[in-house]
Chains A and B, each alone.
Chain A
Amino acid sequence: MTETTNQTGALPLPDRASQILAQARTMMDDLHLGPVQRWKAANPDGLAIGYMPVYVPRPLFEAIGCLPVTIFGGGDQVDIIRGDSYFQSYICHIPRSAIELGLNGHLNCLDGMVFPSLCDVIRNLGGMWKMLFPDRWSSYLDLPQNFALHLGGKFYGQELKRIARELHERGAKAYDPEALRQAMRNENRRRLAINVLDDLRRSEPWRLPASDLYVLLRAGGLMPALDHAELLEEFADAVRSRPARPFDNVRVVLVGAFCEQPPLDLIRTLEKSGCDIVDDDLQLGLRYIESAMDAEAADPLEALANAFIQFGAATASRYIGTAEKGAALLEKVKATKADGVVFAAASFCDPALLDQPMLEAALDRASVPFTSFKFSENTGQFQVIREQAGAFSDSVKLWGTVQ
């Protein structure tokens, strides 16, 4: 942590950027969801609604007085004792630790859970949740795979109304279009703040490494959009004055870790191995809508649904109908001036691993070098990954490709 001397010169104080980072890290590591508990204490009529990755319509929840809380499982901090007895060995890790957290009471401050239609595992986890926690509200959120506004868009609008109605029946505020407009404005502001930081990490990755940005964004899953936007804005100002010196690293796009998250140390391992991660799909939920939502629309609910249809990110769980597979990734590589791509998927993650060969083929055709490995949220050994990423960055640096 960088430190500056305070006014009296007596005690060294961390710089503001480092303070914010430390605060975000504490939030991220708090498996008892302390920030959510504090929010509930300050908003006694509000409901805290957990959701599994990746995307949910966060502004809708905020508009009806709910705090959407991202649940990423227990990462590398939780010993899985009961969760393992619910899943076969060939199923990824995040549902185990989510169940573990639920059964251990870590999620007791949540008033409900949402399971978006990301993959068969999250979908079935939604059914398990209903059976394991029958007294708590939970819902599956069916995101459309048909991207015509009058088909998928309409269906999704109806899903949003259903969710708002069900939560209102359980104590949330009634849906109010103006409240939704305000929530969308807040989310747009957060999105803008993320864009600013993304630009910074691309132009000066040594100043804002991806691992730091990751921690900042993880905190956003535990707080309202406006609070998070303000925090990010403050951080952006503070980090620019933080002393930093450039490294000679290769620039990579990290792909595949959109749901189960790798341990923070794994991200740092990649950085230490000579890779500047100039783009990634970690924390995709906050970046999923790739353009500003129309917060001034006459029907903001329709605008929220349409934003998903029109501006949703190309990711493995989203059907790519007519566009070329991998085109969005190649675009990203180009826009971020990346030298290559690192595929990092959670072990047994069907969407990511089924997508990967198609993305690799697109990279091959465009002569973009790539490397790949698998991880689990509780991976503790990084030696092999360090060597692989190191060899990759050396090779790209020397030859511009993988030898």
Chain B
Amino acid sequence: MSTALPVRNRPPVSLRPATAKDSSQDRQKQMIADHYEKLAHAKENGQKVVYTFVPGNLTELLQALDLLPVLPEINALQSGMRQKSAGYIAEAEKAGHSEDVCTYVKCDIGMLKSGNFGPTGTKLPEPDLLLLSYTGCFTFLKWFELLREEYKCPVVMLHVPYQPDGKISPEMREYVVNQLRDEVIPALEKLSGKKLDMDKLKEHLDLSRQAEDDLVKVWESAKHKPSPIDGYFGGVYYIGPIFTSFRGSQDAVEYYRELRAECEARILRNEGPQTPDGLMGEQRYRLVVEGPPNWTSFPDFWRMFAKEGAVVVASTYTRVGGLYDTGFRHDSSQPLETMADYCLGCYTNLGLPTRVDLLERYIREYEADGFLINSVKSCNSFSAGQLLMLRQLEQRTGVPGGFIESDLVDPRYFSKANIENRLQSYFQMIDARRLRVSA
């Protein structure tokens, strides 16, 4: 994208006061608080704790065995939002970790070395087991090798093959299913001290499907103009329950039902989504975004879009822990196979050509004016290849592409002025294209 254009002086869009409060947000807050409360008392209640990752997580299985998950990535992003990550990263680098590697890992290691206080300020319980369900990124392997060194606890690993051509072969599925049956489930059963009750697992899988149906409706609501949601900044809140410990729970079903109803109500009122400073007003730009957000300056980052009237109608980051809008749903009639397909289908487990196809589809179906890549230094899984994705998408859709760089939780790589300048130029590019098209 060109950055040579002069910064323009278009007034920011005015925000509107919210007409109805989103009660789903309160519900989610309560769910999170309850979960951390359970974690705080896990040891005294004799509950076993399993650390695991977001993409390809086996939440339904953990729930069926009454195991409590902790997600180190979520702790890292929360540390970023709470301005703790810089200190944690410094701590990890002091302990010998390279400045070149993923900052999520360093943030987590630094948090551990600083007492392991989680997002709510309470001390997190140590893991009884590390469940390395390893989807879409090689760093996960290293991360749990590192944690194993620290905690000296057992690890069980699920290797999920990559989908280079966007297709799940019978061999891939069989490999994952066999690992689940022969290694993962026995290890979890041993930890929990009970046999897996298949009916219970199926119930959780059914609950997952219900929540997934509603989440897809939420995503698709962005096809409406104005969009009632922001599918990136707002989207990261929407994925909270389903990507973490709550998928497969009644709470999650209710949360997504409520969220969907809120979106539908906003459509009826012709309202935009919540932003950090109120309801979004005029929607000047509909964008598709690729790549994770920055967490250390999250509200500022969001404001840069909101004040320009830029709403994100679809994003790929919100598909990293499950891609539901291409049709996948958990299917309780085939419990192990469906868990395998879920793990295999997470966004960064898809080959680059498939990722480009998906982005193209979003750009067209959501009638986007542009697409933007936020390339984060930490994450080669996302970032390697994004410059080619940019070219391909511009060629295929004719829609202007933008490229900005930041990081997930390392504030050293978030340059507010630089990003703001680039965004200004980018929005100007979209304006110029509009003029050309309408001339």
Interface SS of A by simple majority: helix
A354 touches B (CB below 8 Å)? yes
A140 touches B (CB below 8 Å)? yes
Q: Name, among B105, B142, B145, B179, the residue most crowded by chain A CB atoms within 10 Å (CB to CB).
A: B142
Give the residue of B100, B158, B351, B386 whose beta carbon is less than 8 angstroms from that of A347: B100
In whole angstroms, what is the CA distance A360 to B139 when docked?
18
A291 touches B (CB below 8 Å)? no
B23 touches A (CB below 8 Å)? no
In whole angstroms, what is the CA distance A361 to B149 when docked?
10
Query: Chain B contacts of A320 at CB under 8 A?
Result: 145
Query: Chain B contacts of A152 at CB under 8 A?
Result: 159, 175
Query: Chain A contacts of B146 at CB under 8 A?
Result: 354, 357-358
> Are A145 and B145 in touch, CB under 8 angstroms?
no
> Are B380 and A145 in touch, CB under 8 angstroms?
no
Q: Assuming A127-B353, A353-B100, is B159 touching A88 (CB within 8 A)?
A: no
Q: Name, among B164, B355, B385, B386, the residue most crowded by chain A CB atoms within 10 Å (CB to CB).
A: B385
In whole angstroms, what is the CA distance A358 to B134 when docked?
20
> Are B387 and A146 in touch, CB under 8 angstroms?
no
Q: Name, among A126, A155, A355, the residue most crowded by chain B CB atoms within 10 Å (CB to CB).
A: A155
Give the residue of B97, B162, B175 whose beta carbon is less than 8 angstroms from that of A151: B175
B358 touches A (CB below 8 Å)? no
A317 touches B (CB below 8 Å)? yes
In whole angstroms, what is the CA distance A138 to B382 when docked?
21
Q: Within A14-59, which residues are at the interface with B (CB < 8 Å)?
A: none
Q: Assuming A127-B353, A319-B157, A354-B105, is B96 touching A140 (CB within 8 A)?
A: no
> Are B157 and A146 in touch, CB under 8 angstroms?
yes
> Are B351 and A127 in touch, CB under 8 angstroms?
yes
For residue A142, give the distance in angstroms from its CB to the closest CB of chain B. Answer: 5
> Are A128 and B352 in touch, CB under 8 angstroms?
yes
Type the 1/0 row for B354-378, where 1 means its CB is closer than 8 Å to any CB of A.
Answer: 0110000000000000000001010
For residue B90, give the distance in angstroms from its CB to the closest CB of chain A. Answer: 15
In whole angstroms, what is the CA distance A320 to B159 when docked?
13
Q: Nearest residue in A to B352 (C-beta to C-beta)?
A: A127
Number of interface residues of B (CB under 8 A): 51
- The segment out of A62-70, A117-125, A176-184, A196-204 that lies at the interface is A117-125
B1 touches A (CB below 8 Å)? no
Q: Nearest residue in A to B377 (C-beta to C-beta)?
A: A90
Q: Nearest residue in B to A144 (C-beta to C-beta)?
A: B159
> Are B164 and A357 in touch, CB under 8 angstroms?
no
Q: Within B88-109, which residues are at the interface with A (CB < 8 Å)?
A: 95-98, 100-102, 105
Query: Chain B contacts of A118 at CB under 8 A?
Result: 138
Q: Assuming A86-B388, A117-B162, A350-B138, is B352 touching A124 (CB within 8 A)?
A: yes
In whole angstroms, what is the CA distance A354 to B145 when docked?
9
Residue positions of A touching B, CB distance < 8 A: 85-88, 90-91, 95, 117-121, 123-128, 130-132, 139-140, 142, 144-146, 148, 150-152, 154-155, 158-159, 162, 316-317, 319-321, 325, 345, 347-351, 353-358, 360-361, 374
Residue positions of B touching A, CB distance < 8 A: 95-98, 100-102, 105, 134, 137-139, 141-143, 145-146, 148-149, 155, 157-159, 161-162, 164, 171-172, 174-175, 178-179, 182-183, 351-353, 355-356, 375, 377, 380-381, 383-388, 392, 405
What are some 30 contacts across the A-B interface (CB < 8 A)? A85-B387, A86-B387, A86-B388, A88-B377, A123-B162, A125-B384, A127-B164, A128-B385, A130-B164, A130-B352, A145-B134, A145-B159, A146-B158, A150-B182, A151-B175, A151-B179, A155-B161, A155-B171, A155-B172, A319-B141, A319-B145, A319-B159, A321-B155, A350-B100, A351-B142, A353-B98, A354-B97, A356-B96, A358-B145, A360-B96
